[in-house]
Every structure is written in C-alpha cells, then in structure tokens.
Structure 1
Amino acid sequence: MKSDYSNLLPLSPATLHVLLALTGGDLHGYGIMLEVARQSGGQYKMGPGTLYDNVKKLLKLGLIEEASAESSESEPRRKYHLTQIGSSVLASETERLTGVLREARRGLRLHEERHS
C-alpha cells in the first residue's frame, strides 16, 4: 500500500531543493548549498540560514537524518542523507509537479490556439 504524504505537500522550493540535493548521496551543509546551485543551473541559491532552518525541519519530520561526523582540523562536519520517507515524499512531490506542468502546458497550448 502506498503511503499518503499529501499533508506534507506542496514542498517549499527550499525543502524540495534540499531533498533533491541529497538524492546523490550524503552531503554536509555547504555541499548541499553547492549541489542546489548546480542542479538549478545557478538559478536558486540557498543561504546558510535557509539551509539550516530546512535541515532542522527535515530532521524533525524524519525526511533526512544525520549520516556521520567527519573530522577536520577545526570542527566536525555533519553530513545528512535522505531517508526512505524523504525519498517517498520527494517522489510524491515530483508526481504532483508533473501534473502541474501537464496542466500548464495544456493551458498554454489552448491559449495559443485561441490567440493565433
């Protein structure tokens, strides 16, 4: 049986981008910011405040979890990874957005036909 995550949808752009960034594997905060910028072609840039507010929320919801602490010369870096629930929520949001895009394309096509 497929779980219903509609109470978590729609995802905010920042939440969507954080979950999407973690599909490639474990990342620390700065790595998430870099991956978000890469995946969006530089069109969406996330600052540390937005990132860590979202990380805190996603940890609480169980959509991501802390992966491991990586030692460096200064202080440890926390890495995060997508949980199975997080992956399912991202898949549900992707389905929802696919429907939105389908309707937008249909509406634009009809608009063009009426005005050409």
Structure 2
Amino acid sequence: MFAILLVLHADSRHGYAIMHDVETLTEGGVTLGPATLYRSLQRLRVDGLIEELDEEVSTHAASDRRAERRRIYRITTAGRAAARAEADRLSAMVAAARRVGVLSSTNRHAS
C-alpha cells in the first residue's frame, strides 16, 4: 500500500496506471495483480488515505454517445501524511541496519 501512496503522491491515476507505475517505481520488486490492487485501493479508501474520482471516458467513435466511467484515485492529505510517516519510519530502519552492519553505505540492495 505504501507503493500505491508513493505513485499517487505526484498525481491522480486510474487502476492500470497505478499497477504499471508501482512496478516501475519498485524496479519490478512489487507487481500488483488486479485483485491485490483493488483490495489495497479499497482499504486505502476506507482508511481515508485516498479518494476515488469519476472520470467519463469515451470508448467509442465520436458519433456514438456512449461512454464508460473510469475510476481515478487521488491521495488525500491524510494519505500524504501517512506516506511521509512511513518513509520516515523506513529511513530510520535503514539507518539502523547500517549502524549494525546489515547494510553498508555503498550497498543498494540487501542480499
């Protein structure tokens, strides 16, 4: 869920873009399937960390008046605060790992 908050921090996105951007951001370390994504989005909504917007998207020829709704997700002020708090917590844990020798300052990824 933290990765979702990170990708929504910059801009609102629809579900497929969130899946793609999480995978890109984590360099393939986190891959979200549709079920996991939408369960996570629902949980983030219930917790007030994101909100859902509706966007009407035309999916047919200009002469066809039908359109579908696309769910767009946006981070809330509470979501920004939660992302910042989690980033601070993780940063402190990485610093602790360096202090005890689990990570060196030149290691990018732990083995």
Per the normalisation by structure 2, the TM-score is 0.80
For 1:100, the equivalent position in structure 2 comes to 93
More helix as a share of residues: 1
Q: Secondary structure at the match of 1:76?
A: strand
Q: Distance in 1 between matches of 2:35 and 2:89?
A: 27
Distance 2:53 2:12 in 1: 7
Q: In structure 2, list runs of 5 or more residues that go unmatched.
A: 60-66, 103-111
Alignment partners' CA distance in 2, 1:29 and 1:56: 12
The answer to whether the 8 A contact 1:65-1:83 is kept is: yes
Q: Quote how far apart the aligned CAs of 1:68 are.
A: 3.1
Are positions 1:78 and 2:71 aligned together?
Answer: yes
Structure 1: tracts of 5 or more residues without a match: 1-14, 110-116
Alignment partner, residue 109 of structure 2:
none
| 1:50 alignment partner, one of 36, 56, 69 | 36
Superposed CA RMSD: 1.6
Match of 2:20 in 1: 34
Once superposed, which parts of structure 1, at least 4 consecutive aligned residues long, lie more than 6 Å away?
none
Aligned-pair CA distance for 1:67: 2.6
Percentage identity across paired residues of the two chains: 37
TM-score computed with the length of structure 1 as normaliser? 0.77
Matches of 2:33 and 2:58, distance apart in 1: 22
- Following superposition, the deviation at residue 107 of structure 1 comes to 0.8
How many residue pairs are counted as aligned between the two chains? 96
